[in-house]
Structures are given as C-alpha cells and as structure tokens.
Amino acid sequence: MASVTYTGRALSRGASGVRLRAIPAAIWAPLLIYGSAGLVLFMTWLFAEAKGKPISYLTWDRAQAAQLKFYAGYLSHFGVVVLIVMATLTIHAAMLVTCPPRAVSRRTFLMVSGALTAWLAIDDLFLVHDGLLTRLVSDASLVTIAFYAGIAGAYVFAFRKQIDRKARFYAIAALTFAAASLIIDLASDYGVAAVSDVNHIYEDGAKFFAIVSWAAFLWVSIFRYSRQSLREVEGGVTPARRSGAARMDLQAQVPVGPPAGPEAAPR
C-alpha cells in the first residue's frame, strides 16, 4: 500500500517515486499577501453592495466620505497611530527577547501587551464598542465598562510580577485615565452630565492621556526586557564583572604541573 510521508522539502508517495516539491516561499508568500488583500477588497465591495452604498463610501477616509474638513478627528487619529506603533514595537520585541526557562513569561507578557494594544487600536478606529456593540446590546456603555474592567483586572493579576516598578506609575496612570474617560462617557449617556465641548475635553482628553500613559508603560517594559536579553546573550556578565571574569579565565588556562619534591619521584 502506498504511503505518504513528509520529508521536509518534498512529499513522497511510496515506491512510485512521485515527488511533489514544496512551493518556494518566493511564490506562496506574494500569493498569500496579495490574495488576502484582494479578498479584503472583494468583501468591501460586497458589503457596499449589500448596504446600497457606493464603494467610495467604504474606501475613502471618513472625513472624505462625509465631506468634512481634513483635520476632523485629528486627536482620535493621532491616538490610534500611537497605539498601532506601540503594538508593532511590543510584538516585535516579544519575538526578539531571549526566553530562559526561569523567565518564559516575559515573552508572553510582551506578546499579550502588544495584542491588547492592537485590539485597542481596532476598537477605536472601527468604533467597535461605539458603533457595532450598540446595535447588538441595549446598554452598550455598561457592557463596555464591564468588559474592559475585566480585561484590565485579568491583565494586572496575570502579569503582576512582570510589570517593572519603574513602569507601574504609567500603568496606574493609564488605568486611571481610561476609567475616567469611560465614567464621563457613561454619565453623558445617562444624562448626568451635559454633552458639551467642556465635557468632550474631559472625556477625550482623559482617553488621550490614557493612550500616552499606556505607550510610556510599554516603552519602559520593552527597554527593560530588551536590556536583559542583551545581557543574557553576552553570557550574563555585566561590564562591572568582566575584568574579574577575565582573570578567572586566565587562571583556568594556566597549566598545573606535577608536584615538586621527593613525593613526585616514582618508586
């Protein structure tokens, strides 16, 4: 009976000698990249057709589609850019840091932090909780607060040992500003606070300060773990101990001869 085995570079089928060479990365990588991009464009066209909107309604920027000034939503867009940049840096750092057995969680900490940051950018850019969630549940504000409170609590509990003491201030500031922004938003939805420019300064300003604080927290964490990784790659020897380590190496290389004296002579 013919059997199929994977040899790493080719698929061989029994004794028939038929070999299906693996597709080179130079071929499948562009197919995957541009195929995915084409699929997104096709789904965008289908969605526009289903909603009875011109394709430009989805392909243009919101300011263009709504015929607004080009600077409309400037602060929100700036915050999204900060989140995307920090998500990219954090995930990239998670893939590069060393991971000895005693500190496997450092890579998990950075990867989860980067993924959470990417989700925050997606939520803010595509109005997930402000637009989509309001169509699914009647009280979207309370659901949003409960969801992010649970995520924040689980994150702090899971990575309480990985949060550097120098970064704790920024982590606490990010949580505080984010909570203030959500509470002000909730107060506006329930009519406790009037919707005005001053209210938007408080709400959106607190949200922007939360993004900046979170970015500072990630930057300090990336710097700490990257520096630790460099030290471990160098062998774990700090600059202050290199001279002593070098002397120990020289002493270990000095040959030790047979003991001198009458005890060394053979009997």
The CA R_g of the chain, rounded to the nearest whole Å, is: 29
Q: Is residue 208 domain-resident?
A: yes
152 and 119 share one domain: yes
Q: Say if residue 101's pLDDT is above 70.
A: no
Q: Is residue 246 domain-resident?
A: no
14 and 90 share one domain: no
Q: Say if residue 257's pLDDT is above 60.
A: no
102 and 121 share one domain: yes
75 and 181 share one domain: yes
Question: ∠65-66-68 over CA atoms, to 5°?
Answer: 115
**Distance from C-alpha of 267 to C-alpha of 265, rounded to nearest angstrom:** 6
Q: Is residue 218 domain-resident?
A: yes
25 and 123 share one domain: no
109 and 124 share one domain: yes
96: closest CA among 114, 119, 70, 71? 114
166 and 87 share one domain: yes
pLDDT digits (tens, 9 = 90+) for 225-243: 988 888 878 775 444 444 4
- Domain end, chosen from 23, 44, 59, is at 59
Q: Would you give the end-to-end CA distance of the chain in angstroms?
A: 74
DSSP string, 3-15: -EEE-SSEEEEGG
DSSP string, 55-108: THHHHS-HHHHTT--TTTTHHHHHHHHHHHHHHHHHHHHHHHS---GGGTHHHH
Q: Is residue 5 domain-resident?
A: yes
Q: Say if residue 140's pLDDT is above 70.
A: yes
189 and 209 share one domain: yes
87 and 10 share one domain: no
131 and 220 share one domain: yes
Contact 181, 206 (CB under 8 A): yes
CB count within 10 Å of CB 229 equals: 19
Domain hosting residue 180, numbered range: 66-236
pLDDT attached to residue 97: 86
- Domain end, chosen from 59, 87, 107, is at 59
Q: Say if residue 12's pLDDT is above 90.
A: no
- Domain end, chosen from 25, 40, 59, is at 59
157 and 32 share one domain: no
Domains identified in the chain, total number:
2
Q: Is residue 248 domain-resident?
A: no
Q: Which two tokens stand for residue 91?
A: 């995930």
pLDDT digits (tens, 9 = 90+) for 29-43: 999 999 999 999 999
Q: Is residue 47 domain-resident?
A: yes
Q: Is residue 75 domain-resident?
A: yes
Q: What is the mean pLDDT of residues 187-211?
A: 81
User: Could you tell me the pTM of the whole model?
Assistant: 0.74
57: closest CA among 48, 46, 49? 48
55 and 70 share one domain: no
